[in-house]
Structure 1
Amino acid sequence: MTRSPLRALWDEPRAEPPPGTPWWDRALVAGLVPLTVLEAALRTDVVWPLWHGAWALVCVAALLWRSHRPLAMVVVSYGAQSAAGVVPALAGEPHSVLDVTAVVLLLAYSLGRWASGRGVLAGSGFLLALHLLREPLYDATGASMLLGVAALMLPVALGAVMRLWTTAQVRAREEVRLREREQLARDLHDTVAHHVTGILMHARAAQVRARTDPGAATAAVEGVEEAASRALEDMRAMVAVLRDDRAVGPGRSPAHGVADISHLARDEGPGPRVVVETAGDLDRLPSPVGSALFRATQEAVTNARRHAVDATLVAVHLSRDHDVVRLRVHDDGRAPGAGRGRRNRAAYGLAGMRERFSLLGGAVQAGPDPGGGWTVEATVPASGTGAEAQP
């Protein structure tokens, strides 16, 4: 059930005020105090100058707490201004007050900017009620009373608009940070999982060969060192991007593309052989599309090496058909025993893969192939129509 706008305003929490009292509020009070004293001393048309000066100073002092206690300061300031004018009027004195209207309007703005929804409604009601009660004592006309209502409510509305704009900016920044975290999580998973899988497979091969052929075990250990070096290089490049985009030069960027997919077939060592085939014009794909295709291929190859049972071949086929790019990664591993999902542990990788392609307007499917083995298929518009492709 949708909430009414009034109910939504009622439930609105307080806006986060600035820490302490801002310097500009302190400077404003420091400048207004002597001006208020001078006005009370020099104006000849003001009756009871000490009375009016004291209440005016109360209004000015309220500025120091306007962001942290907006409702209380509105009540204090408008109440002080009203008391300063109403009491002499009831005593039969001519209407005369010091000019603190700008201070009251600034506090009304603070009400809309910082107070909770309930505080805004309560403060607005207080301003309107007191305004309508006191103005007849000043012989105000109906038109002037309506003008006063508009003058009081306008700064409250401006404060609320500024509050909504600031909240929208904060939410937008939070969404950007969330997307950056998701992208970082995908990149870390894809990069680390791929290299650690290679290190693990070389280590297992070294352990097996050490029992029969120490020389072969040494070669396998060298493979571990090489895979670890590649992992360290990619991690350094990624950290360099996080610290400073300018620190990454040509050949050091972790944003791989379609051209890097063929490198996956050059990884030597234990595990199934990787064969890459391409077709169509793949040279001018947008960077987000190329990066997503590389990461999807890397993840699918890594999963095949880690989870496929007795796989000997991982076939990668990448093609472009007009405005659609298709990726198919198939391994010939056999299915595991019943009740044991072969790719259950690959949930993060597949989830990241689907997130990448959904942002680009594409889709990913993964599962056992009817002809045997496991197949990952992905399609994506060649133009990259999703959010990541936007500049």
Structure 2
Amino acid sequence: MTSPVRALWDAPRAVPAPPRFVWRDAVLVGAVVVAALLEAALRTDVPWRWPWAVALIGLSAALLWRRTHPLAMLAVALVAGTVMGWAAGGDPRLFTTAYFLVLLYALFRWASGREMILGGALVVLGTALSLTTAGTTLGDIVGGIAVAVATASLGVALRWRARARARDLEQARLAERVQLARDLHDTVAHHVSAIAIQAQAGTLVVAKDPAATAQALRTIEAEATQTLREMRAMVGVLRADHAPLSPTPGLADLQALAVADGTAPQVAVRVQGDPVEVPSPVAAAVFRLAQEAVTNARRHGHGVRRIDIDVNITADGLQLTVDDDGKGAASTAPGYGIRGMQERAAMLGGRCEAGPRPDGGWRVAVSLPRTGWGA
């Protein structure tokens, strides 16, 4: 076999899998029965009309299993019709035989590649045998071939359309999973890092400074409460279509990241420009980017005492810079945090760069041009 033929031969059945039975199948079979009886009763000029009507009614049961056994049902209908044509001395003249096209459509819509090849060969063979039947003209054969090809093409087209839609849905699910993982990482990891830092500080001063220990415990309680609140909000959105949504964070919420109470590391926030010019999706992304950068500095930085968050809004766009004064790199290799920041910036047409500063510490630099704010 050549490569295209082999690829078709090895092709699996249609995805997604077809339903085994729907109520429309019973309606279709009933319509075939009524049409066969009416046509046999009204078209008195058709020879063998009642035997043909009985045969067509019996073969209409193949419509019920055309999706699960497309090749077998088409083969039964074609073989029985051919045998009946030989016995009657000609092809049936009843229009009800048009429902055979439904079986042909089902073959190319649902069957595997080898079943389509075998079924197509069976249709070609049946067409060739019809030449031996009396009363069959070349025009009848050409017209029949044209209708069969159009029916098969329709089945293939709808098959590929359904497959493309299933692939798009899977891509959408993967994108939602990535978005959920990014949000979990950006929100929960920030608070958990703060809890870990306060717990470490509390263990160091528990014997010397009970007041500092109490303050650390209060901070841990506040961070844990905020973490649970955000987790419940995210779970609520996932579990209910109309769950109340938490306000989207913005540039004003950057001040919540600031810490200037004497505990290390201290976080300072500075915003230059007019925040009103920044759309809500961009402002939310900037907050998440800054939050993740602070989390990385706290978690991976060595000797970090100060973190500076600078936001500069200009006519060209927005620049976010997060610097720390730690020793060495905040992270030796790109992890999920840096990858998530780069993805967020890329979705807005910008870029995110993270690396050590020449004078020590770590820098996260994000540039979001205004041309990408409408994306």
What TM-score does the superposition give when structure 1 sets the normalisation length?
A: 0.86
Q: CA 1:241 to 1:320, structure 2 compared with 1: closer, same or farther past 3 Å?
A: same
Tell me the amino acid that sits aligned with residue 367 of structure 1. Answer: G
Equivalent of residue 356 in structure 1, options 327, 344, 360: 344
Contact kept, 8 Å, 1:361 with 1:384, in 2: the verdict is: yes
Aligned to 1:60: 60
Aligned to 2:221: 225
Aligned to 1:115: 111
Q: CA 1:245 to 1:76, structure 2 compared with 1: closer, same or farther past 3 Å?
A: closer
Matched, 1:327 2:327: no
Q: Give, in whole Å, the separation in 1 of the partners of 2:181 and 2:28.
A: 48
Aligned to 2:267: 274
Aligned to 2:13: 14
Q: Deviations along 1:152-189, whole A, 9 cap, x unmatched?
A: 12111111111111112222222111111111100001
Q: Give, in whole Å, the separation in 2 of the partners of 1:269 and 1:46.
A: 101
Q: Deviations along 1:112-156, whole A, 9 cap, x unmatched?
A: 211122322322222122113213423333222111101112111
User: Pairwise mapping of residues 192-203 of structure 1 onto structure 2 (< 5 A)?
Assistant: 192-203=188-199
Percent identity between matched residues is: 42
Equivalent of residue 286 in structure 1, options 279, 286, 294: 279
- Of 285-294 and 181-190, deviating more is 285-294
Q: Give, in whole Å, the separation in 1 of the partners of 2:131 and 2:59.
A: 19
Shift of residue 382, structure 1, vs aligned partner:
2.4
- Give the 3-state SS of the residue equivalent to 1:310 in structure 2: coil
Tell me the amino acid that sits aligned with residue 70 of structure 1. Answer: P
Contact kept, 8 Å, 1:189 with 1:349, in 2: the verdict is: yes
Q: Give, in whole Å, the separation in 2 of the partners of 1:18 and 1:64.
A: 12
Equivalent of residue 154 in structure 1, options 137, 150, 155: 150
Contact kept, 8 Å, 1:17 with 1:67, in 2: the verdict is: no
Q: Give, in whole Å, the separation in 1 of the partners of 2:363 and 2:125.
A: 72
Q: Give, in whole Å, the separation in 1 of the partners of 2:262 and 2:58.
A: 81
- Give the 3-state SS of the residue equivalent to 2:343 in structure 1: helix
Shift of residue 57, structure 1, vs aligned partner:
3.0
Shift of residue 314, structure 1, vs aligned partner:
0.5
Tell me the amino acid that sits aligned with residue 131 of structure 1. Answer: T
Equivalent of residue 312 in structure 1, options 305, 308, 330: 305
Q: Deviations along 1:52-92, whole A, 9 cap, x unmatched?
A: 34432342111011011111111111222222112322xxx
Shift of residue 95, structure 1, vs aligned partner:
5.2
Equivalent of residue 137 in structure 2, options 119, 138, 141: 141
- Of 175-184 and 255-264, deviating more is 255-264
Q: Deviations along 1:239-280, whole A, 9 cap, x unmatched?
A: 23323464335xx23x32222222211475732111112223
Q: Give, in whole Å, the separation in 1 of the partners of 2:58 and 2:126.
A: 18
Q: CA 1:368 to 1:153, structure 2 compared with 1: closer, same or farther past 3 Å?
A: same
Contact kept, 8 Å, 1:202 with 1:269, in 2: the verdict is: no
- Give the 3-state SS of the residue equivalent to 1:100 in structure 2: helix
User: Pairwise mapping of residues 76-115 of structure 1 onto structure 2 (< 5 A)?
Assistant: 76-89=76-89, 96-115=92-111
Matched, 1:191 2:184: no
Aligned to 1:375: 363
Aligned to 1:338: none
Contact kept, 8 Å, 1:58 with 1:80, in 2: the verdict is: no
Q: Give, in whole Å, the separation in 1 of the partners of 2:292 and 2:101.
A: 61
Cα RMSD after superposing both structures:
2.6
Tell me the amino acid that sits aligned with residue 207 of structure 1. Answer: T
Q: CA 1:236 to 1:207, structure 2 compared with 1: closer, same or farther past 3 Å?
A: same
Tell me the amino acid that sits aligned with residue 218 of structure 2. Answer: E
- Give the 3-state SS of the residue equivalent to 2:172 in structure 1: helix
Tell me the amino acid that sits aligned with residue 84 of structure 1. Answer: M
Q: Give, in whole Å, the separation in 2 of the partners of 1:300 and 1:192.
A: 14
Q: Deviations along 1:320-359, whole A, 9 cap, x unmatched?
A: 3323321111100112xxxxx7414871111111111122
Q: Which runs of 5+ in 1 are unaligned?
A: 336-340
Q: Which runs of 5+ in 2 are unaligned?
A: none
- Give the 3-state SS of the residue equivalent to 1:314 in structure 2: strand
Q: Give, in whole Å, the separation in 2 of the partners of 1:17 and 1:36.
A: 31
Q: Give, in whole Å, the separation in 2 of the partners of 1:278 and 1:66.
A: 66
Q: Give, in whole Å, the separation in 2 of the partners of 1:174 and 1:331.
A: 40
Q: Deviations along 1:211-256, whole A, 9 cap, x unmatched?
A: 112232122111111111111222222223323464335xx23x32
Q: CA 1:121 to 1:285, structure 2 compared with 1: closer, same or farther past 3 Å?
A: farther
Q: Give, in whole Å, the separation in 1 of the partners of 2:308 and 2:141.
A: 81
Q: CA 1:291 to 1:6, structure 2 compared with 1: closer, same or farther past 3 Å?
A: farther
Count how many residue pairs are aligned between Structure 1 and Structure 2: 373
Q: Give, in whole Å, the separation in 2 of the partners of 1:148 and 1:174.
A: 39
Shift of residue 360, structure 1, vs aligned partner:
2.0
Q: Deviations along 1:23-52, whole A, 9 cap, x unmatched?
A: 211232244335535655775445456643
Matched, 1:73 2:69: no
Q: CA 1:95 to 1:214, structure 2 compared with 1: closer, same or farther past 3 Å?
A: closer
What TM-score does the superposition give when structure 2 sets the normalisation length?
A: 0.90
